[in-house]
Amino acid sequence: MKLFLYISSFIIVCLAPFMGEINLDFNEIFNTSSTTYTIFWDLRVSRVVLAFFVGGILALGGLIFQIIFKNQLITPYTLGIASGTTLFTAISIVFFPAMYMPISSVMGSLVTILILYFISKQINKSSIAVSTNSILLIGIALSYFYSSALMLVFYMSNLQENYSIVRFTLGSLDTVGFTSALIIMAVSVIFYAVIYSNKEKIKLLLICNDTAFLKGLNVHKINLILLIVVSLSVGVCISFVGPIGFIGLVVPHIIKLIYKQSADKLFFPVFFFGGIFLVFSDLISRNLNTDSSLPIGVVTAFIGAPFFVYLLVRRSKVK
């Protein structure tokens, strides 16, 4: 099963740059003066690289969030980080057009997660455990707040700004050249390194917060470090490609079901197959017979939402 997955992912990655609206001639790829060369390298390959690393960050970020909050259903999206980022981006589109957009997006994700963490800590002050139920509820409340605030921003924006906000929320992996891909790649290297270097501590968090505390781990500190690193990385991703949902939820679950190992051994597979999942979704979105490519958020949600429901049903059966 694992070998099959790795082989098919390899095939997907190899095929991905060749399939698209314009058919490419294989012989022209290395001919620097042809249009094929430009399309292949600057549009397609850079897009695949971007998709791979964004997918990896979103999937591994989902896994880490599930470990911190001890809940299988929590991802940066269900907690309202995506809506926070969207709102801050919309605000910067409408009110501060001169500002570099990614900065406000990253701010949005960071502000959201810090609000969540400190409110939930306030709720159970003397205890080590973060109550996952209360944090999920606060996340939902925040999401509602953000979406109504987004409505307000929509209401105050003109037609063109309105259009750019909608385009942003749909999510898009459109990219020209390698700048975005390289930035995201650098972010994911740092992101992965931080998580990997804290592997032993994350292992203890897999049991429960109380146990981790009794084994001498500073639970608050490690939780805070991980939360900030994940939210920053996810925030950067969102600022480049828009909110792409469900990867952080779907991929860790599938990988757990296939590997049947504790989460600390799954960092690499989750990151890798998260990337492949997004490359694959992007491949579908570009190759359906429509006038232009489908928004990527639509494709991942179409695959992800039914799976989410399936997981809920299965979970209640197991209990």
**What string marks each residue from 25 to 64 as x (binds other proteins by CB under 8 A) or -?**
----------------------------------------
Could you give the CA distance from residue 55 to residue 155 in angstroms, rounded to a whole number? 32
Least gap, CB of 316 to other proteins (angstroms): 15
Rounded to 10 degrees, what is the CA torsion of 78, 80, 81, 87? 140
φ, ψ at 85 (rounded to 5°): -65, -45
Asked if residue 121 binds other proteins (CB under 8 A), the reply is: no
Asked if residue 6 binds other proteins (CB under 8 A), the reply is: no
Least gap, CB of 65 to other proteins (angstroms): 12
Binder among 148, 179, 210, 309 for other proteins (CB under 8 A): 210
Asked if residue 211 binds other proteins (CB under 8 A), the reply is: yes
Could you give the CA distance from residue 109 to residue 227 in angstroms, rounded to a whole number? 10
Residue 47 or residue 253: which is nearer to other proteins going by CB?
Answer: 253
Least gap, CB of 252 to other proteins (angstroms): 11
Binder among 8, 31, 148, 261 for other proteins (CB under 8 A): 261
Least gap, CB of 142 to other proteins (angstroms): 24
Least gap, CB of 215 to other proteins (angstroms): 5
Binder among 70, 103, 149, 185 for other proteins (CB under 8 A): 70
Tokens, residue 81:
């980080």
**What string marks each residue from 148 to 187 as x (binds other proteins by CB under 8 A) or -?**
----------------------------------------
Asked if residue 217 binds other proteins (CB under 8 A), the reply is: yes
Asked if residue 127 binds other proteins (CB under 8 A), the reply is: yes
Asked if residue 201 binds other proteins (CB under 8 A), the reply is: no
Residue 150 or residue 226: which is nearer to other proteins going by CB?
Answer: 226
Binding site for other proteins (CB under 8 A): 67, 70, 126-128, 203-208, 210-211, 213-218, 256, 259-263
